Amino acid sequence: MEFKINETLLVSIVAFVALIVFVVWQDRATNSFRCPNDYRTADEYINGMFEWISEELKKAPQMTREELLEERARLFLQHNCEKSRWTEEIFGEPEEDIQTVPVYPV
């Protein structure tokens, strides 16, 4: 009888660990968004942004450009992102001079 209790406990522990690993992996796979200042370089930021866009379009291929921008703006707010330090390096002008699409919270 004692052998079965230990076997059951071992199976439970393995199942629990597998569940935790799956949840962490799934969360990473579905949420690849990072704030611009989380990247070390402007090139890394651009690559990360394209990766995020690709993943979003795989999930919802019918998504329009405006919907994509709205989702990115929503995630900026959700993650409390600061103003990007890469804007001037990428676009060659200060962020204040760049025209953006207005986004309204939903």
Q: Give me the residue spans of the domains in the chain.
A: 1-30, 33-106
Tell me the pLDDT of the chain (106 aa) as tens digits. Answer: 555 667 776 667 766 676 666 555 555 545 678 999 999 988 998 899 899 999 999 999 999 999 999 998 999 899 999 888 877 777 776 555 544 545 555 4
- The pLDDT of residue 85 is 83
- The pLDDT of residue 98 is 45
- The pLDDT of residue 4 is 60
Residue whose entry in the numeric block shows the structure tokens 């070390």: 40
| Contacts with 85 (C-beta within 8 Å, 6 or more apart), sequence order | 36, 37
Q: How far apart are CA 47 and CA 6, in angstroms?
A: 49
The reported pTM is: 0.55
